[in-house]
Amino acid sequence: MRRDVDSWREWDREHCWHPFTQHAEWGMAGEEVVLVGGEGPWLIDAEGRRYFDGNSSIWTNIHGHRHPGLDAALRTQLDEIAHTSFLGFANPRAAELAKRLVDFFPPGTLERVFFSDDGSTAVEVAIKMAIQYRQQSGEPERTGFISFENAYHGDTMGAASLGGVSLFFDRFRSFGFPATRVASLADLRTLSAAEIASTAAVVVEPLIQGVNEMRPWPVGQLAEIRDWCDEQGVHLILDEVMTGFGRTGTMFACQQESILPDFLCLAKGLTGGYLPLAATLTTGPVFEAFLGDRDRTFYYGHSYTANQLGCAVALASLDVFEEERVLEGLPARVEALVQGLKAIVHPSVHEVRYCGLIAGLELRQESGERFPGEEHMGERVCLAARAHGLLTRPIRDTIVMMPPLCSTTEEITGACEALGAALDEA
């Protein structure tokens, strides 16, 4: 079998189906970038070009690519075993990882960990647990979910039922389950008593909505949602799939408003961005409602639940947080990102939104109107940025800048300069 970049491109064009991609346009804007290597926050393509990984490989990467500690953990684990079933069997790495995750939270709070594969399944697990919990604790009428407009919780049917991005979800709306959508905390407060009495849980992305063009929530809102849930006897599901693992400046976003959810969904950065692995954390009271007869069992699982390689690299990632004092190094990096984007002076920059080491730079026409959708302005800028050694992707016309946490301040500044140059060209 030939193995060279031409055949990879050919076989990709002929046989691969890419996510969120219109294949009629695939390859039209020049040859597709074939990524073959990496080093820290840098990616290397098949022609040997180096690019800064400006969106952390779709929001997953934390400590960089080919981190020696993470690589070594995987090699060591391979000498033991890659995967064993978690259905009926324990494994050392999953036990260690569950303990490490739970230890981030005060004793007696989030104390159970259910592993799955990715962000969507972490949310699916929370949804199903929340429903079954009510059935088994004398409130079977609490079947409903409240989510936020323009929310994104993943693409599987259940997670998508909670989503609010109409372009992605409207066509499937009638196939999922109905959820109540609110725009704000004020909206939540206007719901009728009957509606609230039939609600199992509120689901929210804490501090910032990612897919909604990187829109931060008002400061303090998360704590107020928690209070509202407590008053109403409603569970709170936090989707920290994007915000978890240092992204917003603290290990978890919920720590910034000193609250805890009843269900915490983690994925993307859990393995440092190496392997698909997710975790749904929940409380003792929720877990206890599933104890007893066999029919109280949580009948849910996936083939690769608690994969040992995934858990091993997740443990190594948590080690790196400690060894490299990653959280302490974040403020300087956030400052570099803020200053770097501030230095971009261009009439199309409408607004720059931040939350920790996440930024969204929104482009609009000088009149303040959005660019016509068919101009694909965000995509054009990102395409131009490639020539300046920066890879990232837009959400509509908002350019995402979300560097790996290991990036130096100089690298972040350089990436912002590359974006500025791309804007001038596009």
Ligand X SMILES: *Cc1c(COP(=O)(O)O)cnc(C)c1O
Q: Which residues bind ligand X (CB under 6 A)?
A: 59, 118-120, 152-154, 205, 210, 239, 241-242, 267-268
Residues shown for the chain = 426
- Closest distance of CB 60 from ligand X, Å: 8
Closest CA to 184 of 219, 217, 233, 139: 217
- Closest distance of CB 270 from ligand X, Å: 10
Closest to ligand X by CB, 201 or 336: 201
Closest to ligand X by CB, 241 or 344: 241
308-323 and 92-102 helices, crossing angle to 10°: 40
Q: Is 404 helix (H, G, I), strand (E, B) or coil?
A: coil
DSSP 140-167: TT--EEEEETT----SSHHHHHH---HH
Residue closest to ligand X when measured from CB atoms: 119
- Closest distance of CB 375 from ligand X, Å: 26
Pure H helices in 175-220? 185-189, 193-197
Closest to ligand X by CB, 239 or 257: 239
- Closest distance of CB 204 from ligand X, Å: 10
Closest to ligand X by CB, 97 or 241: 241
Closest to ligand X by CB, 212 or 407: 212
Q: What angle do CA 261, 277, 60 make, to 5 degrees?
A: 85
Side chain identity, residue 371: F
Q: Is residue 279 within 8 Å of 115, Cβ to Cβ?
A: yes
Closest to ligand X by CB, 239 or 262: 239
- Closest distance of CB 267 from ligand X, Å: 5
Backbone angles phi and psi of 116, in degrees to 5:
-145, -150
Residues 6+ apart with CB under 8 A from 19: none
- Closest distance of CB 252 from ligand X, Å: 13
